[in-house]
């Protein structure tokens, strides 16, 4: 069997072990240097650069799960630095055996804390994780999927907390708006078809409610002029003829009234 074919069949952890067998000696040399020295910084940087391919490879295991690969690589490298800082070359363990769980743990924490598309309280996220574990155990013991009450009893929480934890799964990776909800060739519908449009009137609520008491406090004549101008769409000449004053007088009343309204509302 050729060497290249053998390497393809070897588990990844074997490649890791062979590839990074020199790292424990590099870390041992690092421990002999003063932590504040430039030599210490250079040696640790050399180790980090030496092991970056390991961290990057582990980051790629999580690619395609909703997070950008560049972000995952950064998280994995943070885990790598933590592994280098904590690794003890004198205990006889290989560096890869120590570093891989450390890096993987950092990646999983990233998904747990930052992978949610909608913010969910930490307590509910924790319950969701516990539900996943206890559901498997109860399903094997009961021979069926456990109900909410059984999950709550197993975890010593309320049924409402179980419901919150189950619903929280929907906040991790939201559905696409193109997801079909009515599979009908004559009238196909997607999730986007069921969403309401933005009502432009919402933006006017605050303004309308703010100006309402000011309008109610105006004299009857000013209220009537404003109504005829802005609701009945009358011209100033038409308003003047209606209330029996000059057009110039109507113009002055409108200008003064609108100015007072703006001052009071602001």
CA distance 33 to 42: 10
State mean pLDDT over 170-197: 70
Reply yes or no on whether the pLDDT at 15 is more than 70: no
Fold of 204-265: Arc Repressor Mutant, subunit A (1.10.10)
State mean pLDDT over 73-99: 90
Range 3-114 has CATH code 1.20.120.1810? yes
How many Cα atoms are found within 13 Å in the side-chain-facing hemisphere of 152? Answer: 11
Reply yes or no on whether the pLDDT at 167 is more than 60: yes
Query: Residue 135 is inside which H or E element, if any?
Result: helix 122-142
pLDDT tens column, 208-224? 888 889 899 999 999 99
Tokens of 63: 């690619």
Q: What are phi and psi of 189, to 5 degrees?
A: -135, 140
pLDDT tens column, 126-165? 888 788 888 888 998 889 999 999 999 999 989 988 888 8
Q: Class assignment of domain 118-174?
A: mainly alpha
- The residues near 26 (Cβ < 8 Å, ≥ 6 apart) are 43, 46, 47, 50
204-265 shares the fold of 118-174:
yes
CA distance 225 to 243: 9
State mean pLDDT over 235-256: 93
Top mean pLDDT of 60-64, 103-107, 127-131, 180-184 is at: 103-107
CA distance 247 to 228: 13
Reply yes or no on whether the pLDDT at 236 is more than 50: yes
Query: Residue 180 is inside which H or E element, if any?
Result: strand 180-182
Reply yes or no on whether the pLDDT at 172 is more than 70: no
pTM of the complete model beyond 0.75: no
Tell me the pairing of strands 189-190 and 180-182: antiparallel
CA distance 260 to 206: 18
Which pLDDT score is estimated for 44? 92
Domain spans of the chain?
Answer: 3-114, 118-174, 204-265
CA distance 238 to 250: 10
Top mean pLDDT of 50-54, 162-166, 202-206 is at: 50-54
Reply yes or no on whether the pLDDT at 11 is more than 50: no
CA distance 150 to 162: 10
Percent of the chain with pLDDT over 90: 43
């Amino acid at each position: 069997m050729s060497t290249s074919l053998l390497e393809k069949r070897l588990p990844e952890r074997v490649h890791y072990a062979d590839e990074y067998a020199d790292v424990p000696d590099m870390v041992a040399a690092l421990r002999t240097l003063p932590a504040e020295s430039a030599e210490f910084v250079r040696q640790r940087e050399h180790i980090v650069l030496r092991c970056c391919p390991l961290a990057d490879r582990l980051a790629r295991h999580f690619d395609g799960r909703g997070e950008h690969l560049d972000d995952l690589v950064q998280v994995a490298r943070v885990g790598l630095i933590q592994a280098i800082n904590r690794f003890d070359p004198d205990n006889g363990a290989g560096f890869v055996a120590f570093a891989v769980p450390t890096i993987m743990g950092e990646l999983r924490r990233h998904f747990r804390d930052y992978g949610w598309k909608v913010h969910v309280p930490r307590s509910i996220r924790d319950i969701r994780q516990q539900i996943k574990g206890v559901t498997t155990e109860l399903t094997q013991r009961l021979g069926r999927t456990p109900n909410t009450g059984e999950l709550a009893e197993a975890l010593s929480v309320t049924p409402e907390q179980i419901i919150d934890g189950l619903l929280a799964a929907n906040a991790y990776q939201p559905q696409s708006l193109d997801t079909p909800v009515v599979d009908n060739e004559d009238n196909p519908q997607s999730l986007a078809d069921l969403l309401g449009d933005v009502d432009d009137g919402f933006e006017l609520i605050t303004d309308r409610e703010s100006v309402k008491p000011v309008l109610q406090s105006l004299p009857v004549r000013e209220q009537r002029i404003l109504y005829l101008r802005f609701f009945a769409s009358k011209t100033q000449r038409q308003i003047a003829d209606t209330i029996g004053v000059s057009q110039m007088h109507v113009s002055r009343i409108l200008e003064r009234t609108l100015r007072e309204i703006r001052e009071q509302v602001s």
